Amino acid sequence: MKRAAPALIAALVVATLSASASPERANASREAVGRQPAARPVTIPFELATRHVMVQLTVNKSRPLSFVLDTGANVAIIRMATAVELGLTLEGSVSTGGAGAGTQAGRRVKNATWSLVGLEGFTQPVSLALPFPELPPGLGRDVDGIIGSEFIREFVVALDYQARAMTLYDRRTFSYTGSGQALALDFNANGHPVVKAAVTPLNGVPIEHEFLFDIGSGGALVLHSPFVTEHKLLDAPQKTIRAIGGFGAGGRVEGRIGRVAALQIGSFTIRNPITMFAQDQAGAFADRRLGGNIGAQIASRFRTILDYGRRRVIFEPSPTFDDPFDRAFSGLALRAEGPDYRTFRVREVLEESPATEAGMQAGDVITNIDGIAAADLTLSALNEMLENAVAHELAIRRGDATLTVTVTPRRLV
């Protein structure tokens, strides 16, 4: 199995970004043109960047741009830098939040539409421009924005993580005939999809609640801080480690990383998933109305079919469904810098981890791993290497000095 990138890197958690319901957003939706879905299924390839689904689109017939597909977002949001580059008309101001306790200040976008590369005759409005300073360095590539529920609602959307393909079906005529299981979806006040599931703590009994189904969260499972506190989940005798390197739309996220015994979704049991126990006091991960977020590490174990019009999600188990959550931890949180995102700087080092044992420090730059130059790697590839429980020889630059260290990742939770 190809190993996934660390959940903590993906805890950029563009996941729960929400632009509050507003007359401007409603008007933007009504201004959309060419929104009639294709009558025949259309399959669009996508890329994965630290588990985030990346699709290509254009804005006002621009060059191809890279956007994250995120069930935890609503309208199309473009990065402020990209909006300025394209000369889009910006007006007013907005303030949005998400994971993390803070907010981002942005602008409304006027007279701009986006089109999906590979899907003819379909456009939707670009509604907001936000800074998203952590997106490109956290995903290790250019990221120009996010699309979400406003797009998904126009189709039945099937995501096949194994094939790296998204298939769009006509929502009016779609009829499911496969062997998967359909589960009811509800939608919260922000229009984000919610499913019922049960979490079984280690040495505990199942706890049923509603969870945001959130493919924009690169982890497996995040439990919100009120849920963690109410059920005393961090009081249980289990090993947890501090969450490092995590940033959401509202800034840094706080929590502990451990496991639960099981996550039950319909008839599917996901055993021992790596879990973030949130400790945020504000922001999306402090939302007491939900038990937490079910993220991409769970969604990718299925062919996932989003049928918002019928208020359901259909899960077809993939060949990776029963793969264990057995990743090793290096104790490094990395960010990608430079114009080509090939400068890999240590953002943070976990205490009592393989990285600290090797003497690594925040600010170190990894220039080579196991004889492979960093310039020949992506952030996703480097993270995957550092999830293997084998000794890795790293060349690092620290100020004017060049050092060689050995880091041996191991299972920490």
Rounded to whole angstroms, how far apart are CA atoms 57 and 233? 42
Range 68-79 burial, b when 16+ CB lie within 10 A, else e: bbbbbbbbbbbb
Mind giving me the DSSP string for 30-83? HT--S-PPPSS-EEEE-EEETTEEEEEEEESS-S-EEEEE-TT--SEEEEHHHH
Give Dmax over CA atoms of the chain in angstroms. Answer: 63
**Phi, psi dihedrals of residue 15, rounded to the nearest 5°:** -40, -60
Q: What is the per-residue pLDDT for 369? A: 97
Contacts for 229 with CB less than 8 Å, ≥ 6 apart: none
**Taking a C-beta distance cutoff of 8 angstroms, is the pair 68, 216 a contact?**
yes
What superfamily does domain 181-317 belong to in CATH?
A: Acid Proteases (2.40.70.10)
Q: What is the per-residue pLDDT for 39? A: 72
List per-residue pLDDT tens for the chain, 413 residues long.
333 333 333 333 333 344 443 434 434 443 444 455 557 899 999 999 988 999 999 999 999 999 999 999 999 999 999 999 999 999 998 877 665 546 778 999 999 999 999 998 999 999 999 999 888 999 999 999 999 999 999 999 999 999 999 999 999 999 999 999 999 999 998 889 999 999 999 989 999 999 999 999 889 999 999 999 999 999 878 899 999 877 665 567 889 999 999 999 999 999 999 999 999 888 888 999 999 999 999 999 999 999 999 999 999 999 999 999 988 999 999 999 999 999 999 999 999 999 999 999 999 999 999 999 999 999 999 999 999 999 999 999 999 999 999 999 999 99
CA quadruple 387, 393, 399, 402: dihedral, nearest 10: -170
CA atoms within 13 A on the CB side of 198: 11
218 by Cβ neighbours in 10 Å (0-12 / 13-18 / 19+) ranks as buried
Fill in the amino acid letter for 372: I
**Taking a C-beta distance cutoff of 8 angstroms, is the pair 292, 223 a contact?**
yes
Can you say how many angstroms the Cα of residue 3 is from the centroid of all Cα atoms in its chain?
Answer: 16
Tell me the CATH class for 7-170. mainly beta
Rounded to whole angstroms, how far apart are CA atoms 131 and 111? 19
Cβ atoms < 10 Å from Cβ of 172: 9
Q: What is the per-residue pLDDT for 236? A: 74
Global pTM value: 0.88
CA distances from 215 to 15, 72, 102, 224, 326 (A): 7, 7, 22, 16, 21
Helices (H), 140-195: 149-152
Q: Which residues pair with 122 in a beta bridge?
A: none
Contacts for 303 with CB less than 8 Å, ≥ 6 apart: 158, 159, 160, 161, 162, 180, 315, 316, 318
CA distances from 201 to 185, 223, 273, 328 (A): 24, 11, 11, 21
Rounded to whole angstroms, how far apart are CA atoms 331 and 29? 44
**Taking a C-beta distance cutoff of 8 angstroms, is the pair 342, 367 a contact?**
no
* Domain range summary for the chain, segments of one domain joined by +: 7-170, 181-317, 332-407
Q: So what's the architecture of 332-407 in CATH?
A: Roll (2.30)
CA distances from 143 to 56, 164, 249, 368 (A): 10, 18, 14, 25
Task: Tell whether the torsion through CA atoms of 284, 285, 287 and 291 is positive or negative.
Answer: positive
Q: What is the per-residue pLDDT for 97? A: 62
Rounded to whole angstroms, how far apart are CA atoms 409 and 331? 8
Rounded to whole angstroms, how far apart are CA atoms 186 and 347? 37
Let me know how long the chain is: 413
- Domain pair 181-317 / 332-407, same fold: no
Task: Tell whether the torsion through CA atoms of 30, 31, 33 and 38 is positive or negative.
Answer: negative
